[in-house]
Amino acid sequence: EGVLLGVPAGSAVKSVYSGRVVFAEWLAGLGLLTIIDHGGGYMTLYGHNQALLKDVGERVNTGDSIALSGDSGGQAVPALYFEIRKDGKPVNPANWIR
């Protein structure tokens, strides 16, 4: 439902928009995962990280580093899993990826 982006291990993972961290821990299949609630029903998910830099409850701004990319959660090579949800349903992330 999201996209898997090949990135070098240890790359800074940045928030696409401001919000509050609502999940920051291991999740089977996605490894070390951060979920940010942006309000208005929007959430972003960032998975397969090697380190998480923000804790649950922390506010983040657009472009803040929230994690370091890696290969956790069963990835054979370093990659970032990125997903956007609106009211719990997946949204095409193409407009948010640079």
The pTM of the full predicted model, rounded to 2 decimals, is 0.94
The pair of three-digit structure tokens given for residue 65, joined into one six-digit string: 């580093």
Q: Compute the residue count for the chain.
A: 98
Q: How many CB atoms lie within 10 A of CB 6?
A: 9
Judge whether residue 77 has pLDDT over 80: yes
Cα end-to-end span (Å), the chain: 18
What's the whole-number mean pLDDT along residues 69-77? 93
Write down the pLDDT at residue 1. 81
Instruction: Note the pLDDT tens digit of each residue in 21-37.
Output: 999 999 999 999 999 99
The C-alpha atoms of residue 39 and residue 50 are separated, in whole angstroms, by 27
Judge whether residue 92 has pLDDT over 90: no
Instruction: Note the pLDDT tens digit of each residue in 56-65.
Output: 999 999 999 9
